Copies of this chain bind each other. A is one copy, B any other.
Amino acid sequence: MNVLIIHAHPEPQSFTAALREQALRTLQAQGHSVQVSDLYAMNWNPVASAGDFATRDNPDYLVYALEQRLGVKNGSLADDIRQELDKLLWADLLILNFPLYWFSVPAILKGWIDRVLVSGICYGGKRFYDQGGLVGKKALVTVTLGGREHMFGEGAIHGPLEDMLRPLLRGTLAYVGLDVLPPYVAWHVPYITAEAREQFLVGYHRRLEQLDQDSPLVFPRLEQFDEALYPIG
C-alpha cells in the first residue's frame, strides 16, 4: 500500500509529530511505502489564488475551479500543487495528521485541501461522493485535541466530534470518493502525562496494524438521488 501522510503542526517536537512518526514506523514495518508532507516544514502556501496558474483561461476574472480544470489539462498548475497532487494520486491511503484548531483543520492544512483537491481530477460535474475522482483510496483523520472525551458525543457540550468534523469527513474526503475510516483521536493532549501519551501511541500502532479491518463511515451514494440531485423515493 502507498500511504501519504499530510502533517500540519507548528511545533516539530509536538505529540502530533510523534503520531506521525508512529505511523511512519508502523506502516513501513508492514511493508507499505510512505511519503510525508510536513506542511510547516515545507513552508506550504495555503492561499488559493490566481498565482496558482501559469496561464489562465480568463486572465480578467478568476473562477478558481474552472482554472483548476484547465490547469489539469494543460499542465499550468503551480509546481507545489502538482507535486502534492502527484503524491495524492500515488497514495492508496491518505492520512491527515493535525491538532484540532477551532473544531477543524489548521489553516495551512485547509489550504492544502483548497489547492490540491483540484476540480477535473478529484471531483467535477457528477463525480462526487461514491462517484468521486479518488474512489478506491482510503482516508484516515488522526487528530489531537485539548478537550476531554466526555465533552463530545450525543448530549455532550460540543456534540459528537464527527458532527464537528462533518465538512472534512463528509464534505471533503467522502466528497472526492475516498473511503473515510473512523478518525483516530488523542484527547486532552496538552494536559496528560507522558504515560497517557504513550498509550495513545500504542493505540495508534494497533489501529494502524489492523486498518484493513476498519469499516468506512457511511455517506450518501449518488444512486439515491435523481439527475437533478433530488432524493429518490
Contact = CB atoms under 8 A, between A and B. Distances in A.
A85 interface: no
A196 interface: no
A164 interface: yes
A100 to B, nearest CB: 9
Nearest to A172: B102
Interface stretch (A22-30, A106-114, A210-218): A106-114
Interface in A183-233: 190, 220, 222, 224-225, 228-231
A108 B165 CA distance: 19
Contacts of A146: 65
A104 B103 CA distance: 12
A104 B151 contact: no
A157 B231 contact: yes
A11 interface: yes
A74 interface: no
A61 B101 contact: no
Contacts of A225: 157
Given A62-B10, A229-B151, A46 B111 contact: yes
